[in-house]
């Protein structure tokens, strides 16, 4: 744990509160009883980022270091958290040992989806292990480009390999750990390789599958393991959802006045699972039925079949 308190990256006075939507907000996260959201997709891609995280200078402990299973601060990754040690999210780089983050969420606690967005932006896909970022809109492809990319991207985690395609002004950066790729995607979005070069506004997205045939079998094996693990997590999640639903139902029938107080609007909101986005939910269900059809794993299938028949009525 960091011994030093996290640095306040931007002056709270300088921030219009409308500019900072809550990191958690759009989607109710049943595992953590929190709301998750804060997708960067709506950020203006034509504007250079005004802030940039400096890990060495900015990281330190926050309230999150005392929490169980905390997430990383999205605003910290962009160099724009005004809360410092008061922040409820982690202000440091993800590490290999941060294994509590379920595969259906990213390191910032945002829901992933069953498929990538068409433009390969967004939070990502829970069926794929993706450690590779696509870096586009690089201004100059000179001899030092690989070194420059390495210097910029290694700030966010250990890099496995860098592939530069000079004719297209693009590059691919593969991290050792997927959580670092998630962090780097936010940290490097709308930045430039040369500090203060406002003419360069990098586009950082998820890369498509690795075209290297040597690693294909290994990747496929990893993906199959990931799909099974995700299916298990989704089943657990759906069981929790059912539990919430039945709690909600029993809450309606409670009549003693002191019990009713427990279900004040605030409490109601906490146990209200309905705002799960249909898109995410459909995604989850399609993964479950896909796995069920494949009959890859008899034991798991049993659970899946039970779930599906319950759900359809
Ligand atoms: Zn923060």
pLDDT reported for residue 298: 43
Question: Do residue 97 and residue 64 come from a single domain?
Answer: yes
Question: Do residue 121 and residue 236 come from a single domain?
Answer: no
Q: Is residue 212 part of a domain?
A: no
Question: Do residue 45 and residue 180 come from a single domain?
Answer: yes
Domain end call among 174, 206, 238? 206
CA of 55 to the centre of ligand 1 (A): 13
CA of 74 to the centre of ligand 1 (A): 7
CA of 228 to the centre of ligand 1 (A): 33
Question: Do residue 148 and residue 228 come from a single domain?
Answer: no
CA of 53 to the centre of ligand 1 (A): 11
Q: Is residue 247 part of a domain?
A: yes
pLDDT reported for residue 16: 62
pLDDT reported for residue 212: 61
Question: Do residue 173 and residue 237 come from a single domain?
Answer: no
pLDDT level of residue 257 (50, 70, 90 thresholds): very low
> Residue 255, Cβ neighbours under 10 Å: how many?
7
**How many separate domains does the chain show?**
2
Mean pLDDT calculated for residue range 164-181: 95
Q: Is residue 273 part of a domain?
A: yes
Give the structural domain span for 252. Answer: 220-311
CA of 60 to the centre of ligand 1 (A): 10
CA of 83 to the centre of ligand 1 (A): 6
Question: Do residue 196 and residue 231 come from a single domain?
Answer: no
Q: Contact at 8 Å (CB) between 110 and 123?
A: yes
DSSP code per residue over the chain:
--SSBPPP-S-GGG--GGG---SS-SEEETTTTEEE---GGGS-TTS--S----HHHH-BB-GGGGSSS--B-HHHHTT--S-GGG-SSBBS---TT-TTS-TTB-TTSPBPBSS--TTS-SS-BTTS---EEEEE--S---TTHHHHHHHHHGGGS-EEEEEEEGGGTEEEEEESSHHHHHHHHHHHTT--SSTT-TT---EEEE------GGGHHHHHHHHHHHHHHHHHHHHHHHHHHHHHHHHHHHHHH---HHHHHHT-HHHHHHH--TTS-HHHHHHHHHHHHHHHHHT--HHHHHHHHHHHHHHT-
CA of 79 to the centre of ligand 1 (A): 9
Domain end call among 206, 231, 258? 206
Whether the per-residue pLDDT at 19 is higher than 80: the answer is no
- Nearest residue to 86 via CA among 6, 4, 166: 6
What is the percentage of the chain residues whose pLDDT exceeds 90? 38
pLDDT reported for residue 53: 96
CA of 11 to the centre of ligand 1 (A): 13
Of the candidate ranges 14-23, 78-87, 96-105, 274-283, the one whose mean pLDDT is the lowest:
274-283
CA of 192 to the centre of ligand 1 (A): 23
Average per-residue pLDDT for the chain: 76
Question: Do residue 187 and residue 249 come from a single domain?
Answer: no
Q: Is residue 152 part of a domain?
A: yes
Residue 43: CATH number of its domain: 3.30.70.330
Question: Do residue 252 and residue 198 come from a single domain?
Answer: no
> Tell me: the pLDDT tens digits for 197-233?
889 999 999 998 665 655 778 778 888 888 888 888 8
Q: Is residue 211 part of a domain?
A: no
pLDDT level of residue 110 (50, 70, 90 thresholds): confident
CA of 81 to the centre of ligand 1 (A): 5
> Tell me: the pLDDT tens digits for 37-91?
444 444 555 788 889 999 999 999 999 999 998 999 999 999 999 999 999 999 9
**CB-proximal residues (5 Å) to ion ligand 1:** 73, 76, 81, 83, 87, 89
What is the distance between the alpha carbons of residues 158 and 178, in angstroms, rounded to a whole number? 10
Question: Do residue 240 and residue 201 come from a single domain?
Answer: no
CA of 156 to the centre of ligand 1 (A): 16
CA of 29 to the centre of ligand 1 (A): 19
Question: Do residue 81 and residue 122 come from a single domain?
Answer: yes
Q: Is residue 98 part of a domain?
A: yes
Question: Do residue 109 and residue 134 come from a single domain?
Answer: yes
Question: Do residue 154 and residue 93 come from a single domain?
Answer: yes
Q: Is residue 214 part of a domain?
A: no
> Tell me: the pLDDT tens digits for 180-196?
999 999 999 999 998 77
Q: Is residue 6 part of a domain?
A: no
Domain end call among 180, 206, 232? 206
CA of 90 to the centre of ligand 1 (A): 7
């Amino acid at each position: 744990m960091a011994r030093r308190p996290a640095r306040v990256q931007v002056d709270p006075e300088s921030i219009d509160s409308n500019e900072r939507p809550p990191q958690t907000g759009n989607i109710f996260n049943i595992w953590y009883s929190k709301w998750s959201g804060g997708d960067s997709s709506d950020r203006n891609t034509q504007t250079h980022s005004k802030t940039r995280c400096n890990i060495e200078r900015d990281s330190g402990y926050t309230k999150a270091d005392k929490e169980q299973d905390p997430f990383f601060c999205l605003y910290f990754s962009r160099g724009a958290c005004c809360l410092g040690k008061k922040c409820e999210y982690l202000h440091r780089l993800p590490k290999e040992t941060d294994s509590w983050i379920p595969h259906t969420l990213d390191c910032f606690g945002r829901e992933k989806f069953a498929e990538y967005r068409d433009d390969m932006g967004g939070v990502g896909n829970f069926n794929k292990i993706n450690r590779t970022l696509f870096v586009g809109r690089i201004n100059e492809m000179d001899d030092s480009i690989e070194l420059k990319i390495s210097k910029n991207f290694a700030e966010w985690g250990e890099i496995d390999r860098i592939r530069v395609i000079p004719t297209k002004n693009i590059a691919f950066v593969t991290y050792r750990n997927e959580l670092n790729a998630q962090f780097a995607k936010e940290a490097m979005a709308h930045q430039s390789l040369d500090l203060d070069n406002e003419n360069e506004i990098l586009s950082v997205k998820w890369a498509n599958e690795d075209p290297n045939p040597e690693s294909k079998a290994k990747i496929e094996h990893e993906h199959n393991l990931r799909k099974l693990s995700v299916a298990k997590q989704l089943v657990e999640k759906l069981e929790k959802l059912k539990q919430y639903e039945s709690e909600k139902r029993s809450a309606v029938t409670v009549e003693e006045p002191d019990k009713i107080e427990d279900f004040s609007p605030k409490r109601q909101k906490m146990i209200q699972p309905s705002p799960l986005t249909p898109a995410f939910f459909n995604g989850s269900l399609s993964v479950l039925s896909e796995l069920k059809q494949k009959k890859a794993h008899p034991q798991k299938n049993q659970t899946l079949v039970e779930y599906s028949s319950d759900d359809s009525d």
